[in-house]
Amino acid sequence: MTSPAPRVLIAIPVFNEEKSVDRVLGEVARHAAGFGGEILVIDDGSTDGTPCMLAKHPVEVIRHGKNRGYGRAMQDMLEWADFRGYDWVISMDCDEQHEPASLPAFVECIRRGASDIVSGSRYIDESLPGDPAPEDRRRINALLTREVNERLSLGITDAFCGYKAYRASACAKLALDANGYDFPMQFWVQACAAGLRIEELAVRRIYVDMTRTFGSGLDVPDRRLAIYRETMHREIRRCARRLPVRAMDGLS
Query: Structural domains in the chain?
Result: 8-246 (3.90.550.10)
User: How is residue 150 annotated by DSSP?
Assistant: H
Q: In this structure, are residues 71 and 180 in contact, taking their beta carbons and an 8 Å threshold?
A: yes
Q: In this structure, are residues 251 and 233 in contact, taking their beta carbons and an 8 Å threshold?
A: yes
Phi, psi of 231 (to 5 degrees): -65, -45
**Sheet order of strands, 117-121 included:** 60-63, 38-43, 8-14, 88-91, 164-167, 117-121, 198-202
Q: pTM of this prediction?
A: 0.95
Q: What is the pLDDT along the chain (252 residues), one digit of tens a residue?
A: 456 789 999 999 999 999 999 999 999 999 999 999 999 999 999 999 999 999 999 999 999 999 999 999 999 999 999 999 999 999 999 999 999 999 999 999 999 999 999 999 999 998 888 888 889 999 999 999 999 999 999 999 999 999 999 999 999 999 999 999 999 999 999 999 999 999 999 999 998 876 677 777 788 999 999 999 999 999 999 999 999 999 999 998
User: What is the C-alpha end-to-end distance of the chain, expressed in Å?
Assistant: 53
Q: Indicate the helix (H) or strand (E) that contains 202.
A: strand 198-202
